[in-house]
Structures are given as structure tokens and as C-alpha cells.
Structure 1
């Protein structure tokens, strides 16, 4: 990689255990993020002979731990990489405020380093896989960086604010003003029912680090919230993503604050799937929508058979679309 690309550390064992390794990305010093900000690139060590790779971008108050989903991609012939973005998961420093990202575009730096590393590993086709906020980051980034990836899969992307008109319009305007002067001021939070449903300690299926993905989430701060709403506005006016996009989401949504037990098992209890479906055509000219019956917000963590339906749909689509692309001949 060029000397001006921020440095990637040698691979070391990851907290997930074998066959997972991580490499730390030293980001450019910034008054917003301290003297030594980092992101972390996680990689499935057991590589295939495929030229294809997936780069996963997680959501807000999240990090990569979905190894069963990654292994489905690996079994289908895709090398799997995941980014813990700055101030998230493995990249949370001792003196940092988790999630206090002032502008989603700042993630361009670590995405660029990760893509350079994946290409340096010999991969010629790269699929970007974004969940929730990571889905918004993925399409915004791809719109501004045409030709850098070959396809995009979106897992319940955050395409609009899930709230009443007064929050969507009046509060958004107020947050934008606050963000100019006090970007770290807390302006919101996540509701805990979804996280409690997921985690093994409260009866769920999945075990993950509650320090990196707490039930109540990290505080939503003004800078990050204003940036998200700015990207929502850009999307509302239409993007021009130049690669095939597959958008997957549940068939229904439910209240984030007071879902029933059945809704937690079978619906998106974080975002409104109507926003995803309505705004999908605004991403670019080649967008396919798949709604998964019984899917939850992170479709890769859904109960069966919804999880299997989602994974089969994305892998079938990705395999077919990459094979049909100009660089798809093996």
C-alpha cells in the first residue's frame, strides 16, 4: 500500500478465536478523535482460492461478532472481512466516547484502508455488506466513490428516522444547530428491548460483548445524529450508486420501545421497513428488494427459518451478480 495510506498492523489472534485474526488500522490524528484513533479489520484466516471477498460494515452501537453468518459466505467461496469502525467495538479506546463520530464521511478513511488491504490479499471482486447504519454508510460511500466495489448487500439499512413528524423535522433542525457548536451533546438513545431479546444473558440466542454492544446502546450525540440526517437527506434526493444493490429487510416493523414477545421474534423492532422499501429505488438504477418473512432487524441474527432464507438469498444473488459482472470470469 502507498506510504500515505494509514498503517495496518500485522495480524494477531482476535477475541473470536480461531480462525479469526485482526489487524489494527492507525488512522490520521484528528482533534475530533484524539492523537491515535484506530479502526480494526477482522478477517477469517482460512482463505479460499476465490478472487471474491466481502467487507462487512456494522451498525450503530454494534461490532462484528456474527461468525455463523460469515462462515456461510466462506463456505460459498467468499473471503470474509469485517470492519470495526472508529469508536466502535474493538476500536473503542480507553479515553474515547463510543459512537461519538462527528461525520459519517470520516469512515471513508478506514473503508479505504480496508479495501486496499483486501486487494493486496489478491481479491479482485469485493462486495460491501452493510447493516443498519452500516448500510447507510455503504450507499453514501459508494455514491461518492464510484467503481471501488463490485456489488452491495444491505441488511436492514437505516434510510430514514423512525419517529414522529416532530422528531423528523423540528428535532432534526435543532440537532443540526447544536451539532455545529456542541457535537458531543447527547440527543437520544436506543431502546433496550431488542438487545435484551438477542443476548444470551437475558434469554436470547447470541453471546456478545455488552461493553461493545450494550442493551441501551451508546448515547446518540448531536454530531453523529446530524450527519445521519444529512445522509438521509442526500438519499431522499437520489444517489447514483453504479453497482448492483440487494436490499434485504423484514416484512414488518414494530415499536422499538414496547414490542410484544412475538414481534421481537418476527419483526424489525428498531427501524421502519417501509422507509427501506420506499427509498430503495433512490439508491441507484440497479436495486433488488428481498423482504424476509419473520426477519428481525439484523437479519443474520433472525430465528430460523428466516435466517436461512436471508443467507441463501444474499449468497445466491451475490454469486450470480458477480459472475455476470465484467470482472466475474474466474
Structure 2
């Protein structure tokens, strides 16, 4: 007669095996290939209807309980397979998320990149982090680029002592609009103020493709991406979006209290202009780095900042000699923090 304890153990093994298989079965080959997998995560409906986010992953070859979760910026999605290569090589299981209404997660009925409150993305982060932890990762590093940097900063701040990640890396975080004097100081606050009365009004973002040309291999860069997911021209935004970003930025300006170690990185210079020039390959063509420098010092009590000489807006898409130094610093920093 079988020992009851053995029977219980047998049932547990069967259930665990089923759950692990079911979790793996939800993944499919990602459009980037390179061994990357992806899965669609259904989220609760919002004011536009059905909502999903998408988790992309690739485990490192050696068994690891460390993971990196990457969050893209505005008019963006995960396309940098090299990033997975770098983190896998350093012993991290790599994950990225395409947030709701971006990239792989944009549905036909949705306005691209639209949000009414940056907190909407917190549910996407909660869901993906829970999955990452359920897949055996004890240490989770969160990294956000541009708008993703703003979002992840507020996410970690909102969690306080219960922050579900062990460190935060910021790649050119979007802490202030870069639109010049009167637009920054008067127009943006005015739009935010009138949004409750005039919501969902479409506002153009400009007509320059210079930054995209700096990235794309077919122009002056070395990257390839789906131009239906990351547009050459920055898409129109809504008054709701402007208000959501502005209100989030004001929280950063007052100072955050992020409890985990933070690495904030930004270029040493900004570049301007509508027409591409070689300067776009060596500076931030989207944000004013002075704003990042100013506000990144008020994120918490354990902040490391890195000014990257010759860095582009997306530092990890900069010239090889630049991004190699950035990656080297990231991994050196990760080796020094306690997590």
C-alpha cells in the first residue's frame, strides 16, 4: 500500500509539472527570433476596451535566478536583441515588456501610446514581474528608457518598502518635456489644466525624422525595427497623454523616495534641429540632459549617476564604442550593489 505522504508528493509533482508546462506553452517564438520567446498577457479592459501587454524573454544558457526586465520608451517597443545577448552573457535571464498600446501590444481599436494616467502601466509591470518571479527568478532588475524611465521611477516610488524589484536602471528618463521656454512653462501646464474639459484632443508631435534616421541601418544607424511599431515620425498624442505625463513629472520634481538602488544614465549633451546631421549620432536628440541631471539626484537615498560622453537618447543604441562602455558600467554597478 502506498504511503499517503508519497501520494501527496506524487500529486504535487504532477501539478507542478503541469503548471510549468502550461506556463511554457503560453510562449511562442518572437518576431525577432534569436531564440526570443513572447507571450500575450490579457489585462482588464479600460476606457478604450480590450487591453493586453506582451512579455518577451530569453533565458541565459547557464541556470540563473537573476533577471532583467526592460521597459521601452514613447513611440517604441522592444527591438534590441543585442540587449538580450549582453544580459544573458552576464548571467541574467532577459525579459522585456511591450506595454499596453505599444508595439506588439497595440490593438486595432486603440490609440497608439495613449494613457490618461501613468499608473495604468503599473498593472502591466505587476503582471510581468509576477510571471518573472514565478519562473524561478529571485533577483529582478528593472530598467526603463525615456518614458519607460519615468514610469518605472514612479512605479518603484509607489511601492515603497514593498518594491518588487531589487534595483532600477534609468536610460535617459523623461523627467521633463523638452519644448523650450513658453511651451514648457505655460502651454504644457495649460493643456494639462484644460484636459478634464477637453479630453482626448489630438495634438501633433512635430515633423522631424532625424532621430529615427540616426537609429535605422537604412539611413545612418545600425539598427533595424518595424516602422509600423516604432514610427519614423513621432505620432500625435492626446491632451490626456500630455496631462498624464506632466502630472507624473511633477511628482518627480517634488522628489521621490525609491527604496532600491538606482542607476540614472544620460548623455553629456543634447542636440536640436529638424534635419539630420552628424551631431545626432553623439547626443540626446529628444530630451534636455540638464533636466535629467537636475531631477535624477532626487530619486532616493542610493543613487548612482552616469554621464555618457557621446551618448544618444537611447544610450544602448549609441555607437558601439559608447554603448560598450555603458554596458560595462551597468554590470560593474550591478556587481557592487547588495541585492
Which shifted more, 235-244 or 217-226? 217-226
1:94 alignment counterpart: 108
- Determine whether 1:194 maps to 2:211: yes
Distance across 1 between alignment mates of 2:319 and 2:266: 14
Q: Give the conservation status (yes or no) of the 8 Å contact 1:48–1:79.
A: no
- How far residue 320 of structure 1 moved from its aligned partner, in angstroms, is 2.2
- Determine whether 1:305 maps to 2:321: yes
- Determine whether 1:33 maps to 2:48: yes
Say if 1:175 and 1:73 are closer, same or farther in 2 by CA, change over 3 A.
same
**2:292 aligned to which of 253, 271, 276:** 276
- Determine whether 1:176 maps to 2:192: yes
- Determine whether 1:113 maps to 2:130: no
Say if 1:111 and 1:256 are closer, same or farther in 2 by CA, change over 3 A.
farther
Aligned pairs for 1:1-330 within 5 A: 10-30=26-46, 32-34=47-49, 36-46=50-60, 48-146=62-160, 147-190=163-206, 191-258=208-275, 261-321=277-337, 324-325=338-339
Which shifted more, 163-172 or 222-231? 163-172
Say if 1:256 and 1:129 are closer, same or farther in 2 by CA, change over 3 A.
farther
Q: Give the conservation status (yes or no) of the 8 Å contact 1:152–1:243.
A: yes
- How far residue 205 of structure 1 moved from its aligned partner, in angstroms, is 1.1
Distance across 2 between alignment mates of 1:69 and 1:210: 19
Distance across 2 between alignment mates of 1:277 and 1:13: 39
Query: What do you get for the CA RMSD once the two structures are aligned?
Result: 1.7
Q: Give the conservation status (yes or no) of the 8 Å contact 2:201–2:238.
A: yes
Distance across 2 between alignment mates of 1:183 and 1:45: 42
Say if 1:117 and 1:309 are closer, same or farther in 2 by CA, change over 3 A.
same
TM-score by length of 2: 0.89
- How far residue 125 of structure 1 moved from its aligned partner, in angstroms, is 0.9
- How far residue 102 of structure 1 moved from its aligned partner, in angstroms, is 1.6
Distance across 2 between alignment mates of 1:257 and 1:160: 20
2:17 alignment counterpart: none
Q: Give the conservation status (yes or no) of the 8 Å contact 2:60–2:94.
A: no
- How far residue 169 of structure 1 moved from its aligned partner, in angstroms, is 2.2
Provide Cα deviations, 1:24-58, integer angstroms capped at 9, x if missing partner.
1101012x231x21110000144542221111110
Q: Secondary structure at the match of 1:145?
A: helix
Query: Can you give the 5+ residue segments of structure 1 that lack an aligned partner in the other structure?
Result: 1-7, 326-330
Q: Secondary structure at the match of 2:40?
A: strand
Say if 1:256 and 1:87 are closer, same or farther in 2 by CA, change over 3 A.
farther
Provide Cα deviations, 1:154-185, integer angstroms capped at 9, x if missing partner.
00111111122211121122211342144321
Distance across 1 between alignment mates of 2:196 and 2:39: 34
Query: Can you give the 5+ residue segments of structure 2 that lack an aligned partner in the other structure?
Result: 1-22
Q: Secondary structure at the match of 1:68?
A: helix
Q: Give the conservation status (yes or no) of the 8 Å contact 1:256–1:270.
A: no
Q: Give the conservation status (yes or no) of the 8 Å contact 2:189–2:246.
A: no
The structure with the larger Rg is 2
